[in-house]
Homo-oligomer: A and B are copies of this chain.
Amino acid sequence: MTSASPRDTELDVVGLGNALVDVIAPTTEAFLDEHGLHKGSMSLVDTDQAQRLYDAMGQAVEVSGGSAANTLAGIASFGGRAGFIGRVRDDQLGAVFAHDIRAAGVAFPIPPASEGLPTGRCLVAVTPDAQRTMSTLLGAAAQLGPEDVDEDLVAGAAICYLEGYLFEQPAARAAFDKAAAVAHGAGRKVALTLSDSFCVERSPDGFRDLVERTVDVLFGNEDELRALYATTSTEEALEHAQRWCDLIVVTRGAAGSTVVSGANRHDVAAAPVDRVVDTTGAGDLFAAGFLHGLTSGRDLPVCARLGSMAAAEVISHLGARPESSLAEIAGSVLD
């Protein structure tokens, strides 16, 4: 991973993802049943469905979200250099998203669209067990295309990080291809998060093709990896993925994580958490810590520990972005 050294780059990580504002409300288990929601998953909804769900939800809190955007905000909180590529409209939620990602210290050079769909939002139902179930109205986020891929931004970043949720949009697939080509052309690495097993199951061939053609660093949980190779065995899925990716990072919730790099395998415990309030952003922040470690030249087990630590911070409060400085929390891990 010498090309991931920060010395010859403008940024550590540039990410392509959905620009979304999260609308978070506590709900009951019955709410999920009534609305046919599968706990822990992300579903795309249309405007009418979103309105029905929102009408039925209790008082909510709005906070900027988006999976890759959360990861980049986490990298910035560690002191890393991050940039984001995603689409918002020139509306109130778009202004909220743009403000928050810039306030987090992430470069976001994409101007808001002056026409088209409104800024996307993600209705997050948090059940008493702290699980999050997401219903996403993509809006402007779904209109990300290759024309939004700033080539200099991508070429100047050690790692180009792709958000799997975006992969269902044909224009975004073209944006992924362009970004990956620019990154590899500049000697950079391409990373992908599989995002959601249902998402992978809807396009397993497309995801495998993307992984096998362009992905150097693959992030996923066990369900997502198994969905990618249509198998019930995580180990079998890992064997497949290893043939194509330099590095595979498997998150296992409370059981920690596994990092596979060629013949080397590291199993790393999860960081302790006093009280899990809302698991939204756990995977996003794990990726933040891991990528920050990687672009700072840390050993793989240290990268995984940084990931666990960042995930532990984000699940201890409502919302998917860190509330405390990850750089400060990281001190104990890195010393």
Contact = CB atoms under 8 A, between A and B. Distances in A.
Contacts of A1: none
A240 to B, nearest CB: 39
Contacts of A321: 59
B59 A62 contact: no
Given A54-B99, A99-B54, A59 B91 contact: no
Interface size class on chain A is 20 to 34
A144 interface: no
Q: State how many copies of this chain the complex holds.
A: 2
A55 B100 CA distance: 9
A58 B322 CA distance: 12
B92 A60 contact: no
Contacts of A181: none
19 contacts: A54-B99, A55-B99, A57-B99, A58-B103, A59-B64, A59-B73, A59-B103, A59-B104, A59-B321, A60-B96, A60-B99, A60-B100, A61-B61, A61-B62, A61-B63, A62-B62, A91-B92, A92-B92, A92-B118
- State the 5 A-B residue pairs at the shortest beta-carbon distance, nearest first: A62-B62, A92-B92, A59-B100, A59-B103, A58-B103
